[in-house]
A and B are shown apart, each in its own frame.
Chain A
Amino acid sequence: MHRIALCALVASCTSWSGPHPLLSSVTPSSGCDAQASVALILTGTGFSVEVLSALDDPTAVVPSVRLIDPSANATTFASAPDSSGDTLMIAVQGLGPATYDVEVVDPNADGSANATDPATTSTLAAALTIDPPPTAVSVMPPAATASSATTLTIAGSAFLPTMTATLAATPPVAATAVTVAADGKSATATFDLTGTALGSYAITVDNRDGCTSTLASAFEAQ
């Protein structure tokens, strides 16, 4: 009643209320988006979909997601909500390697017409780490006898502990016992070359986070 009495003195008598977002988790919490988009699933509550101008030119408005880097630069993505109201999906690509705060913004929180329901956001700090892509630059030894297990040292950068390595033979040979150095600049990998034809092969390292690196003619089976 106070509002009705006073609203004549201000610009508008419109009041507004609706669900407010509460973000609880981001999955996966890390990824590499340099080569392909990374699909993120955000879970929480109160993720609403609003239809504005419902009697005129209806427009669906979904929650937006802001990824904020340590320098407070924000990149905004439109989300795809599911009907439960507790899951949002976004696909990110082209972000620089960094750790990001993830913020869900109420679809009506643009401040333009929200006089009584101020902009509402929910933020998880350091919820997403974007990794740089791996780069393989050399393999030692560059050649070995086929038909036996061989341990190679792969040099490069941005190798993650989750990395795998594959020799591009026919059929491909997946490395076992991959060990990544703490600085991420080298890794040892053992390949069982039994049955592998003689020849020169590429080796692909895969950080299992969305990015890979392939070194052509990296190894020769003799």
Chain B
Amino acid sequence: MRAVILFIAITATTARAQPVAPWTYDIEPRIGVLESKSKLDASLLGGFELGLELPHDGLLGLEASFTHPHHTGSVMDDNVTTSYTLEQSQILLAITVNYRFFDSTHAIVPHVGLGPLVQVLLNTETTTAAPGELTANEVQLGAEAGAGVDYRVGPGWLAANIQFVYSRPLSACAILPIYIPVCTAHSAPLTGGDDVYNIAITGGYRVPF
């Protein structure tokens, strides 16, 4: 894992000053609440961030999180009336570059960050009208922007974060501008929305090692 983080750090900072050895890593287990712009209910979110200290008060974060929101609704049709439940597992992997406004000698360190992400959405739908499960899985690309505050407690920092997540299907369209007509078709017929907008508020404890 250290080798991977090292490689990422070197790649990301080629044009900048090299990190100063010894490397300083930290890990932040975190838990929080995720709210989606869609009809999905708010849900608990768990995850962690592996961090590599960068020069100039920077931090390269490798973040992973999991949440499992759901939505229950009903629909009336000419031929059938049914209730349905859509459960969605969201697995998120992100690499973020963070800037800390103060160095780690301060007790309170606000920070902001930004980076790309990959999100896997595993959808399962059941209805009361018929047995069986319908599943639809999607892989999406996107970006995450976040901000937070670290507060020194003990050997580490209590961390409070707010993150904005946007993703859309991983496809040829995903790398084209949104306004390209060919990219307007749904690729997620089960959920009805290609784009994901989430806000996550988390708390954790960042421990250096």
Residues of A at the B interface (CB closer than 8 Å) are: 4, 7-19, 46-60, 62, 78-81, 83-85, 108, 112-113
Taking CB atoms, residues of chain B closer than 8 Å to A47 are 130
Please name 14 pairs of A and B residues whose Cβ atoms are closer than 8 Å in the assembled complex, sorted by A: A4-B120, A7-B171, A13-B187, A14-B136, A48-B132, A51-B86, A53-B189, A53-B193, A55-B71, A55-B86, A55-B192, A56-B191, A78-B78, A108-B134
How many A-B Cβ pairs are below 8 Å? 150
Contacts A10-B172, A18-B133, A54-B86 hold; do A79 and B125 have CB atoms under 8 A apart? Answer: no
User: Which partner residue on chain A sits nearest B76 by CB separation?
Assistant: A60
Minimum CB–CB distance from B78 to chain A (whole Å) comes to 7
Q: Give Cα A16 to B136, complex, Å.
A: 4
Taking CB atoms, residues of chain B closer than 8 Å to A15 are 135-138
Minimum CB–CB distance from B51 to chain A (whole Å) comes to 26
Taking CB atoms, residues of chain A closer than 8 Å to B78 are 78
Whether a CB of chain A sits under 8 angstroms from the CB of B3 is: no
Contacts A13-B170, A49-B82 hold; do A19 and B132 have CB atoms under 8 A apart? Answer: yes
A55 and B38 contact, CB distance less than 8 A = yes
Q: Give Cα A62 to B77, complex, Å.
A: 9
B192 and A53 contact, CB distance less than 8 A = yes
B82 and A11 contact, CB distance less than 8 A = no
Kindly list the 7 A-B residue pairs having the minimum CB-CB distance in the complex, ordered from nearest.
A53-B192, A56-B192, A19-B132, A49-B129, A18-B134, A113-B189, A60-B77
Q: Give Cα A8 to B125, complex, Å.
A: 25
Whether a CB of chain A sits under 8 angstroms from the CB of B79 is: yes
B189 and A112 contact, CB distance less than 8 A = yes
B73 and A81 contact, CB distance less than 8 A = no
B193 and A55 contact, CB distance less than 8 A = yes
Taking CB atoms, residues of chain B closer than 8 Å to A78 are 78-79
User: Which partner residue on chain A sits nearest B188 by CB separation?
Assistant: A14
Which of B80, B82, B140 gathers the greatest number of chain A CB atoms within 10 Å?
Answer: B80
Minimum CB–CB distance from A89 to chain B (whole Å) comes to 9
Interface residue ranges of B15-53 to A (CB < 8 Å):
38-40
Interface residue ranges of B75-111 to A (CB < 8 Å):
75-82, 84, 86
Contacts A15-B136, A55-B39, A55-B40 hold; do A49 and B80 have CB atoms under 8 A apart? Answer: yes
A7 and B170 contact, CB distance less than 8 A = yes
Whether a CB of chain A sits under 8 angstroms from the CB of B169 is: yes
A59 and B77 contact, CB distance less than 8 A = yes
B187 and A54 contact, CB distance less than 8 A = no
Q: Give Cα A194 to B23, complex, Å.
A: 112
Minimum CB–CB distance from B178 to chain A (whole Å) comes to 16
Minimum CB–CB distance from A72 to chain B (whole Å) comes to 26
Contacts A13-B171, A80-B79, A84-B131 hold; do A58 and B84 have CB atoms under 8 A apart? Answer: yes
A85 and B131 contact, CB distance less than 8 A = yes
Minimum CB–CB distance from B174 to chain A (whole Å) comes to 8
B134 and A50 contact, CB distance less than 8 A = yes
Taking CB atoms, residues of chain A closer than 8 Å to B128 are 83
Taking CB atoms, residues of chain A closer than 8 Å to B56 are none
Minimum CB–CB distance from B84 to chain A (whole Å) comes to 4
Contacts A19-B132, A56-B191, A85-B130 hold; do A113 and B186 have CB atoms under 8 A apart? Answer: yes
A18 and B132 contact, CB distance less than 8 A = yes
Whether a CB of chain A sits under 8 angstroms from the CB of B127 is: yes
- A17 in complex: contacting residue of B40, B127, B134, B172, CB < 8 Å: B134
Whether a CB of chain A sits under 8 angstroms from the CB of B190 is: yes
Q: Give Cα A19 to B126, complex, Å.
A: 11
Q: Give Cα A2 to B140, complex, Å.
A: 15
Contacts A16-B190, A60-B75 hold; do A81 and B171 have CB atoms under 8 A apart? Answer: no
